[in-house]
Amino acid sequence: MKQKISITLDEETVVEIQNQLRSGRFRNKSHVVEYAVLKLLEEENGRNP
């Protein structure tokens, strides 16, 4: 089950997210953020993607 959260990002980061969305790599902003968080957690826990 997914939970809704709220985040605040600087404008430059939002522009980069929009660029990723235009490229078609991600479905929506939530997908971008979820992907990034999962990658960070993998890295922090010493797992290779």
pLDDT for the residue numbered 2: 92
Q: Give tens-digit pLDDT for 18-49.
A: 999 999 999 999 999 999 999 999 999 986 55
pLDDT for the residue numbered 30: 96
pLDDT for the residue numbered 44: 92
pLDDT for the residue numbered 46: 84
pLDDT higher than threshold 70 for residue 8: yes
pLDDT for the residue numbered 48: 57
pLDDT for the residue numbered 47: 66
Taking the C-alpha atoms of residue 28 and residue 17, their distance in angstroms, rounded to an integer, is 9
Contact 34, 41 (CB under 8 A): no
